Structure 1
Amino acid sequence: MIEGIPAKLKKDAIRLLQFLVHSRQPLKLAEAKEVIATQVEDERPGFDVKRRLFHKTDVLKYCPSLVTVVYTTDKELHLAHFSVKEYLLEDDQFKVVTASISITRTCLTYLTDIKGSCQKIKRDFPLARYAAKVWADNAASAQASEDIVPAIVSFMENEVTFQRWTRLYQADRFWDDDPGPPRGSRLYYACLAGLIAPVRDFIGKGADVNAQGGEYGNALQAASSRGHQEIVKLLLDKGADVNAQGGQYGNALQAASEGGHQEIVKLLLDKGADDTSSRPP
């Protein structure tokens, strides 16, 4: 079936299948069309609204017999059978790192190219919230690629794209479809997502490791709550206050304890965390 995909469609088909294999949530048909309309392999990558497909059968042509449209509240694109995923995962193109690089690059390109107010983007660009949600999850695996890290840092440093991303989705307020402006720093969100390479970059450029903000209060508590041990160690080595108070869990030690991250608990205690303090009511 894969060999039968027309040559001119194959790159887009592989990328679409990468999304379907590794997506943690169903990909809507409208979102799948946006994936195809976003080019990342070209010399001048970008999202082109003119490349949008208009009919269901157009999407199916890209992956004949490998995908199917499921009619739920929204039309969703699914792999045709669980055996398709099992087979594809044996192919190097669908290994976690390779697929994550492709997904991250697609999402960042899309979020960079779409324009308009937050409400207009939500209305006119079906992939926007999905891309805002999944790019950072995939970037944690994709950062093994040296050339993806500058793209991530550039996206987060740019005020327009940073605001666009965080107004669509904030991982510490995942339940909120309209989270509003960012409550934390760029370093905070990088620590929350486990993006060690961008974290090093931001700290190297002078980011304040003790800046307050976000649901978890500061970068150290965010990293501790999510179990990002390497980032926790880096923050502590760069002067993060191990006993800083505030945020959802009160302090980093409580955040690590609540998450069951025993190695981080030990690391925090070794750095002088106060184990007599309790989580605020």
Structure 2
Amino acid sequence: NGADVNAEDYRYGNALQAASLESDLEVVQLLLDKGADVNAQGGEHGNALQAASFNGNLEVVQLLLDKGADVNAQGGEYGNALQGASSRGHLEIVQLLLDNGADANPEDGKYGNALQAASFNGNLEVVQLLLDKGADVNSQGGEHGNALQAASSEDNRDVV
């Protein structure tokens, strides 16, 4: 009916980002079919891929990647999709993002980088995967300075 599928607002960025955050695969597919920009930036989660990664829906993440989502796009509260998934401990999504070319070391967002996000939240398996993929344990930034400080601030002894 003439609705702009790429119209933006502050919180959700756009309809595609909102549907991705809510893990609504059918609506995500419909919006993409109607011309939604898979890489549109804005909102709390920066873009649709970051929203889906944060929320942990593997099918939506895979669909967005298949449709050309930029795996290293920066923006939003968590900086990028890898940091969003790492903060929530979504191991399969972290692996999928890395397999699709996600950089393990970009710095941006609330935690500084994915390793700090996983360390702060005590996600040991994600921490190990990121280290195996070359994440810099001494990287500085974010609210906690580095991964060790992030883990220590929450008494995540297994990560330390």
Does the Cα contact within 8 Å between 2:107 and 2:141 map onto a contact in 1? Answer: no
1:153 has 2:28 as partner: yes
1:222 has 2:84 as partner: yes
Say if 1:155 and 1:182 are closer, same or farther in 2 by CA, change over 3 A.
farther
Q: d(CA) in 2 for partners of 1:256 and 1:204?
A: 26
Which has the greater radius of gyration? 1
Q: Which amino acid aligns with 2:128?
A: K
Q: Deviations over 1:63-121 (max 9, x none)?
A: xxxxxxxxxxxxxxxxxxxxxxxxxxxxxxxxxxxxxxxxxxxxxxxxxxxxxxx8xxx
Q: d(CA) in 2 for partners of 1:159 and 1:204?
A: 15
Q: Which amino acid aligns with 1:268?
A: L
Q: d(CA) in 1 for partners of 2:140 and 2:71?
A: 23
Q: d(CA) in 2 for partners of 1:240 and 1:224?
A: 12
Does the Cα contact within 8 Å between 1:152 and 1:198 map onto a contact in 2? Answer: no
Does the Cα contact within 8 Å between 2:82 and 2:114 map onto a contact in 1? Answer: yes
Q: d(CA) in 2 for partners of 1:213 and 1:159?
A: 22
1:182 alignment partner in structure 2: 43
Match of 2:105 among 243, 248, 272: 243
Q: d(CA) in 2 for partners of 1:250 and 1:156?
A: 31
1:277 alignment partner in structure 2: 139
Match of 1:264 among 105, 110, 126: 126
Unpaired runs of at least 5, structure 2:
1-8, 10-17, 144-160
Q: d(CA) in 2 for partners of 1:152 and 1:259?
A: 31
Give the alignment's Cα RMSD to 1 decimal.
2.7
Q: TM-score, normalised by structure 2?
A: 0.66
Unpaired runs of at least 5, structure 1:
1-117, 119-131, 140-147, 163-180
Secondary structure, counterpart of 2:51 in structure 1: helix
Say if 1:225 and 1:193 are closer, same or farther in 2 by CA, change over 3 A.
same
Q: d(CA) in 2 for partners of 1:202 and 1:247?
A: 21
Secondary structure, counterpart of 1:207 in structure 2: coil
Question: Offset of 1:156 from its aligned partner?
Answer: 5.4
Question: Offset of 1:192 from its aligned partner?
Answer: 1.2
Q: Which has the higher contact order (CA 8 A, sep 6+)?
A: 2
Q: Which amino acid aligns with 2:43?
A: P
2:60 alignment partner in structure 1: 198
Q: Which amino acid aligns with 1:277?
A: S
Question: Offset of 1:154 from its aligned partner?
Answer: 2.7
Question: Offset of 1:278 from its aligned partner?
Answer: 3.3
Say if 1:223 and 1:156 are closer, same or farther in 2 by CA, change over 3 A.
farther
Number of residue equivalences: 121
Question: Offset of 1:189 from its aligned partner?
Answer: 1.0
Q: d(CA) in 2 for partners of 1:231 and 1:261?
A: 13
Match of 1:207 among 69, 85, 88: 69
Question: Offset of 1:155 from its aligned partner?
Answer: 5.4
Secondary structure, counterpart of 1:257 in structure 2: helix
Say if 1:186 and 1:272 are closer, same or farther in 2 by CA, change over 3 A.
same
Q: Deviations over 1:168-208 (max 9, x none)?
A: xxxxxxxxxxxxx5251111111111111011111111111
